[in-house]
Amino acid sequence: MIFPPTFRADLNAIARDAGAFLLAERQKFSRDAVEYKGLNDLVSYVDKECEKLIVPKLHALLPEAGFITEEGTTEQADRQGINWIIDPLDGTTNFIHGLPVYAVSIGLAQGNRPIAGVVYDPNRDECFSAAEGQGAWLSVGGATEQPMHVSPAQRLADGLIATGFPYYRFEQMQPYLHILEQLMQRSHGLRRMGSAAIDLAYVAAGRFEAFYEYNLKSWDMAAGICLVREAGGIVTDFQGQDTMLFGGDIIAGCALQPELLSLIGDYWPE
């Protein structure tokens, strides 16, 4: 796909507007507004209203694209076509508890391939964006964008690794804990931020050497996959294949990604 010259700038502006809404709502947010979509799966009116702000702006930016959205405020998707894949508030649990680690994540995918994306962290005013063939970029506080590159680390022993903790599908807990045990001994350490979008953005920016998690949704990682790849990184599922966008398992990283993939493969069931 050929992107218009202002495409990323327009996309970033949409994400920034959504982030400003999140910050404003957080100032007056009450936990009484929390709902449960499932076990430990929280949502609020903020997620839904933020999504409603984003969708019409994205439609105006690229009218031919469909939508895959976390909160289901619109249903217009053909998985074989071009779709916006949106998480208006990635890190809802953090948001609810007042932990300032959450983001707006907007990805654009052609079939299974993410081709553009933006992750905006309103608390740090950091905007991470990428488009296929254009590299990955970071703007802090609205300043001029700087190119992003994944970490130069070559070995897992030199890596800081991010992951997420499952909130259901606990039948996979034992292999997950075995992997944690190995990584505690074979890396610089593990971090759990609570937002897969931010984790992936940090891999693209070289802050984390890798990120892995299972049981994610497409809106958690669509933008981040594009960020990491355009920053020079490697992204696969737990089997080393390219099914992660709709498959749920992801390993993203710099040159050490194959070593992490091998370690996970030693413990994770087929």
- Any binding-site annotation on 70? yes
Place of tokens 């994944």: 150
Reduced DSSP (H G I as helix, E B as strand, rest coil) percent helix, strand, coil of the chain, to 5: 40, 25, 35
- For 97, the token pair is 């508890």
According to DSSP, the β-strands at 250-253 and 234-236 are: antiparallel
- Any binding-site annotation on 90? yes
264 near 179, Cβ under 8 Å?
A: yes
- Any binding-site annotation on 266? no
- Any binding-site annotation on 220? yes
- Any binding-site annotation on 263? no
Number of H helices, E strands in the chain: 8, 14
Residues shown for the chain: 270
Which residues line the annotated binding site for Mg(2+)? Answer: 70, 87, 89-90, 220
Which residues line the annotated binding site? Answer: 70, 87, 89-90, 220
